[in-house]
Copies of this chain bind each other. A is one copy, B any other.
Amino acid sequence: MANRKLQLEPLTSKAFGPFGVVVETPDLSPESINEGHTLKFADLLPFDCDHEGGRVALHLYRSEARQLPLEIRDLERHPLGSQAFWPLSGRPYVVVVAPPGPAPEASKVRAFLARGHQAIQYHRGTWHHYQVSLEADSDYLVLDREGPGSNCDEFTLSEPLTIFL
């Protein structure tokens, strides 16, 4: 049986809404601070990291560039916290998600093409594939939950999915 093929969709707040949050500064209204020398875009990510004694932690991920088409099979979710990715490279990346639930459904997986100026935050519990960089190895700041408890569930789809542009 042929792999199911999944075409990358443009990443928009509306399309990504069931899975998480997209941040793009052009959409936002900053305030002027520091005697007019700084624009402040305030409180951009709605962290949801304090369940069961959790806290916000900041990591840096250095993620290897991959080629499209890309075959994926493994998804994960973080039941105890949101997880956000802020690209530092300005390069595009791939965001693969499925709705919350006991297990991801292959027919409900979506793949988005994020532009380098777009940051994302997965809602707590959103199934997702790990971060995939395009064009070149790229760094991301990751705002994640740290704390007690088991915060990573993994699932392997019965058939792989092939992500293409």
What residues make up the interface of A, taking CB atoms closer than 8 Å to B? 25, 30, 33-35, 37-45, 47, 50, 55-64, 66, 84, 86, 88, 130-132, 141-143, 146
Contacts and interface: CB of A to CB of B under 8 A. Distances in A.
A105 B3 CA distance: 68
A76 B146 CA distance: 30
B146 A60 contact: no
Contacts of A25: 60, 62
A21 to B, nearest CB: 11
B56 A40 contact: no
A63 to B, nearest CB: 5
Nearest to A41: B60
Copies in the complex: 2
A60 B66 CA distance: 29
Given A34-B131, A86-B141, A39 B59 contact: no
B63 A41 contact: no
A40 B64 contact: no
Given A43-B146, A86-B141, A141-B141, A38 B59 contact: no
5 contacts: A34-B131, A38-B130, A43-B59, A47-B56, A50-B55
Contact of A37 (B63, B84, B86): B63
